[in-house]
Structures are given as structure tokens and as C-alpha cells.
């Protein structure tokens, strides 16, 4: 057991190392210089003579260590990281760690709520589609799924806002992180993510329906509800991975919805920072995102073995006991 944990931990660390290394290098390869972007906001009068500007740029670059070799920068960053320091934002001068910590609850709350919506919709409609496979309800669900899956997130988000905030006036457009503002983005995000769960739930259930233990349960005279429950339990297990992936996706990829609903999560923070090439923030964000994904996958393993006895009893299969 300890070796398994240790191996997982090592894997996670390796993942973190390479992921951050790649991001570290990539953002520096992308065009745009954070220092120039910070100093050179257009909109005011252009200065005559750029020597002061260039001096300032060089000075800031040196101060931030951006004039050094990438490898040196990375090692420095890792060193600070080892002390729990994610660095400070080039733009705001604030601690990246605390800035992310302040925004993470908003993103996690939104992602979790959306996930719950997604799961609820996925299970209910997936089950209905499987039970009514080939019938009208199934067709309707399929059409709805395809329609939703092919509509860009921002369209759905804006339509939802136009309806609930403008037309019915039941939703407040602000930049707050509050319970009252959660339901609409959560629903939108949940509805957007539900189609794939619906389709997979349907497919899984249909596969399970074809299995012998379902016929067997049926042959024991159990009613439809109980028979479906047998199949559902098995159909749900592979869904855990899907849900986890979807959660990881939500944490990292809810940027569009966060932006549309001006939800103050890390997605928007990261996006703003990417636009101005705020390296420490992007790195910090990437680290946290990768960390979350690693964590989620670890949780999946735990949940999986709780749900599927075949996993924690590995190696006991087909025991030849003479009883």
C-alpha cells in the first residue's frame, strides 16, 4: 500500500515538474514582453524620446530576473516554490499564492455546482434515453444533446443572461461571488457539460442491459425499477472517470463562463494575466490547475475502488475454494 502511494506521489511530482516546465518555456516563447506591456499601455500621449522608457524596461527586467537564462529562471522559480512561494505578480505586485487562494473558492464552487447539475442531468436524461432507447424521448434527448454540444458556451451564457437578467430580471449582473449569483452560471455550465454525460450514461446503461446479470435479476422476478438499479450501479462506475475529467475541465476551462457571468474565479484572473503575459501568475495558475487535476485523479482512484469491489480485491479473482 505504501509503495503504491509513494509511486502515485512520484508520478504526481513528475507530472507537475514537466507540466510547469513546458508552460514556463511556452509562455516565454510567445510574443509579447510583460514589462513592455505593463509600461506601454496605449491611450495616453506618446512620449518623445524613448531612452527613459528603454532604461526603465531594462531596469524592470533585471529586477524581475527576466534578463536571465530560462533555465536559471526556472530553477529560481522552483527554489521559491519549494519554500511555498509562488512569486509576485508583475502587474499588481501582489502575492500570486494569496491571489489564487482568494479566487479559487469561486471557481471551485462554480465547478462543483456545475458538476452536480451536470451529473443530475446526465444521470436522469441518460437513464431516460436508455430506457426509452429508440423511442421519441430518446430521439428528443439526442437532438437536444447535439444542439447543446454544438452551441458555443458564450452563446448559451449570453442567452441565459439576456433571459434571466434582462427579460425576467431575476438575476443580477455584477462581479460578486455570492450564493445568489451562483445558480445561473452553474446551470449554464452544467447544461453545457451534460450532453456527453447523457450520451455516455445511455451507452453504458444499454451495454449493462445486455449483460447476463440483468437478465438474471429479471429472471428472479424483480420489477423494472430494481432491475434498472442493478444495471445503473454498474453503468455509473465508468462514469466516475468522465465526471472527474469533466471536473478538471471545469476548473481549468470555465474561463468563458466566468468571463460572461463576470464570476471572479481563477479563470478570469488567468485570462487577464495571459493577455498581459504576467509570467508568475500564469505559472502559478498552471501549477494550481495541474495540481487540481492530479488531485482529482487521485480522488478518482479512491472513489473507484470504493464503488468497484473488483479493484480493492485485486488479485483475488477466480479463487478456487473448495467449500
Partner 1 sequence: MSSDNRAEALEVKGLQVAYEQNGRRTTVLNSLDFKLGKGEILVLLGESGSGKSTIAKAVTGMLPPSARIGGGSLRVGAERIPDLGKPGIPWERIRGRGIAMLFQDAQSALNPVMKIKDHFKESLLYHGLASAEGAAAISVAMLERLNFKDVRHILECYPFQLSGGMCQRICLALALCLEPAVLVADEPTSALDTVSQKEVLDLLRKLQREMGLTVLLITHDIAVANAVGNRVIVLNKGVIEEEGETRTVLTRPGSAYTRELLAARNRIARPARGLPPAAGKPVLEIVRLSKTFGGKKRVLRQVDLTLNEREILGILGQSGCGKSTLAKCVAGLERPSEGRILLRGADIGHLKGKARRETSKRIQLVFQDARASLNPGRTALQLVQEPLQYLRIGGKEEREALAAYYLHEVGIADEALTRRPPQLSTGQCQRIAIARALVLRPDILICDEAVSALDMSVQAQILELLQRLQRQFGFSILMISHDIRVLRAFCHHIAVMSNGSFGERKQESGRLHESRQPHTQLLLKCAGDMEDGLV
Partner 2 sequence: MRKLWSVVLLGLSLAVAGCSGGNSNTGNGSPASSSPAGSATQSEASPSPQASGAEPQELVVIGQEINASLDPVKPLTSSYLRNIGAGEALFKVNAGGEVEPSLAESATEVDPTTWEIKLRPEVRFWSGKAVNADAVIASLERSKSLDLQAQPFLNDLTITKLDDYTLQVRTNREHLPVPLNLSYYQTIIHNDEASHEDVATMDLTGMYKVTEFAPKQKMVLAINEDYWGRKPTIPTVVFEEISDEQTRVLSALSGRSHVTLNVPVSSLTQFKDNKEVYLSAAPAASTQTIYLNLSQPQLQDVRVRQALSWGADRDELVILAAEGQSTPVTTWLGSNPAYAAAKNAVYSQFDADKAAGLLDEAGWLKESDGIRYKDGKPLTVRLMTWGGDKALGEALQSQWTRIGVKAEVQHGDYSLIETARESGDWDASIEAWSTFGEEYAVLSGQYSSDGGANYGGYKDEETSRLLEELKKAGDPQSRHDLALQINERVAQQAPVISLFPRPQVTAVSGSLQGFEEHFRQFENVVNANLTLTAQ
> What sign does the dihedral 58-61-63-68 (CA atoms) show?
negative
Residue 319 lies near partner 1 (rule: CB under 8 A): yes
DSSP letter string over 72-137? HHHHHHHHHHHTT---B-TTT--BHHHHHHHHHHHHHHHHHHHHHHHHHHHHHHHHHHHHTTTSHH
Question: For cell 511555498, what's the residue?
Answer: 84
Residue 17 lies near partner 1 (rule: CB under 8 A): no
Of 99 and 208, which CB lies nearer to partner 2 in the complex structure?
99
Partner from partner 1, partner 2, none binding residue 70, C-beta < 5-8 Å depending on class: none
Of 94 and 211, which CB lies nearer to partner 1 in the complex structure?
211
Of 195 and 264, which CB lies nearer to partner 2 in the complex structure?
264
Selected from 50, 151, 174, 219, the binder of partner 1 by CB under 8 A is 219
Selected from 9, 226, 295, 299, the binder of partner 1 by CB under 8 A is 226
Of 17 and 53, which CB lies nearer to partner 2 in the complex structure?
53
Residues 113, 107: Cα–Cα separation, whole Å: 10
Partner from partner 1, partner 2, none binding residue 182, C-beta < 5-8 Å depending on class: partner 2
Of 147 and 275, which CB lies nearer to partner 2 in the complex structure?
275
Residues 153, 265: Cα–Cα separation, whole Å: 17
How many residues comprise the chain?
Answer: 323
Residue 218 lies near partner 1 (rule: CB under 8 A): yes
Of 44 and 321, which CB lies nearer to partner 1 in the complex structure?
321
> What sign does the dihedral 28-31-36-37 (CA atoms) show?
negative
Residues 298, 240: Cα–Cα separation, whole Å: 12
Closest approach of Cβ 245 to partner 2, in Å? 15
Selected from 233, 272, 295, 302, the binder of partner 1 by CB under 8 A is 233
Cβ–Cβ under 8 Å, residues 185 and 110: yes
Residue 174 lies near partner 1 (rule: CB under 8 A): no
Q: Within a 10 A sphere around the Cβ of 221, how many other Cβ atoms?
A: 8
Angle between helices 224-253 and 212-219 (to 10 degrees): 140
Of 93 and 318, which CB lies nearer to partner 1 in the complex structure?
318
Which listed range, 24-32, 107-115, 231-239, 294-302, lies at the site for partner 1 (CB under 8 A)? 231-239
Q: Which of residues 298-317 bind partner 1 (CB under 8 A)?
A: 307-310, 313-317
Selected from 181, 230, 268, 277, the binder of partner 1 by CB under 8 A is 230
Q: Within a 10 A sphere around the Cβ of 15, how many other Cβ atoms?
A: 15
Closest approach of Cβ 142 to partner 2, in Å? 25
Size of the site for partner 1 (CB under 8 A): 33
Amino acid at each position: 500500500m505504501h509503495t503504491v502511494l509513494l509511486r502515485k506521489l512520484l508520478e504526481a511530482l513528475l507530472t507537475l515538474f514537466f507540466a510547469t516546465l513546458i508552460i514556463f518555456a511556452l509562455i516565454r516563447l510567445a510574443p509579447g514582453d510583460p514589462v513592455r506591456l505593463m509600461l506601454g499601455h496605449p491611450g495616453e500621449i506618446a512620449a518623445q524620446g524613448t531612452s527613459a522608457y528603454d532604461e526603465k524596461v531594462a531596469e524592470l527586467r533585471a529586477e524581475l530576473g527576466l534578463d536571465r537564462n530560462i533555465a536559471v529562471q526556472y530553477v529560481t522559480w522552483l527554489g521559491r516554490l519549494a519554500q511555498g512561494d509562488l512569486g509576485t505578480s508583475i502587474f499588481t505586485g501582489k502575492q500570486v499564492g494569496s491571489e489564487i487562494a482568494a479566487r479559487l473558492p469561486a471557481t471551485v464552487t462554480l465547478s462543483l455546482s456545475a458538476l452536480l447539475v451536470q451529473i443530475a442531468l446526465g444521470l436522469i436524461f441518460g437513464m431516460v434515453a436508455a430506457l426509452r432507447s429508440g423511442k421519441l424521448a430518446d430521439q428528443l434527448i439526442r437532438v437536444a444533446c447535439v444542439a447543446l454540444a454544438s452551441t458555443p458556451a458564450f452563446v448559451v451564457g449570453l442567452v441565459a443572461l439576456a433571459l434571466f437578467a434582462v427579460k425576467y430580471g431575476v438575476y443580477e449582473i455584477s462581479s460578486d461571488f455570492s450564493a445568489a449569483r451562483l445558480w445561473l452560471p452553474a446551470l449554464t455550465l452544467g447544461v453545457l457539460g451534460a450532453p456527453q454525460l447523457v450520451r455516455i450514461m445511455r451507452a453504458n446503461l444499454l451495454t449493462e442491459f445486455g449483460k447476463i446479470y440483468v437478465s438474471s435479476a429479471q429472471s428472479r422476478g424483480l420489477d423494472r425499477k430494481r432491475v434498472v438499479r442493478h444495471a445503473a450501479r454498474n453503468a455509473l462506475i465508468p462514469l466516475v472517470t468522465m465526471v472527474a475529467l469533466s471536473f478538471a475541465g471545469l476548473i481549468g476551462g470555465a474561463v468563458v463562463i466566468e468571463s460572461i457571468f463576470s464570476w471572479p474565479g481563477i479563470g478570469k484572473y488567468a485570462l487577464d494575466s495571459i493577455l498581459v503575459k504576467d509570467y508568475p501568475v500564469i505559472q502559478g495558475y498552471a501549477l494550481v490547475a495541474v495540481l487540481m487535476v492530479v488531485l482529482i485523479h487521485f480522488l478518482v482512484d479512491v472513489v473507484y475502488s470504493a464503488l468497484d469491489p473488483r479493484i480493492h480485491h485485486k488479485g483475488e479473482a477466480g479463487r478456487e475454494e473448495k467449500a
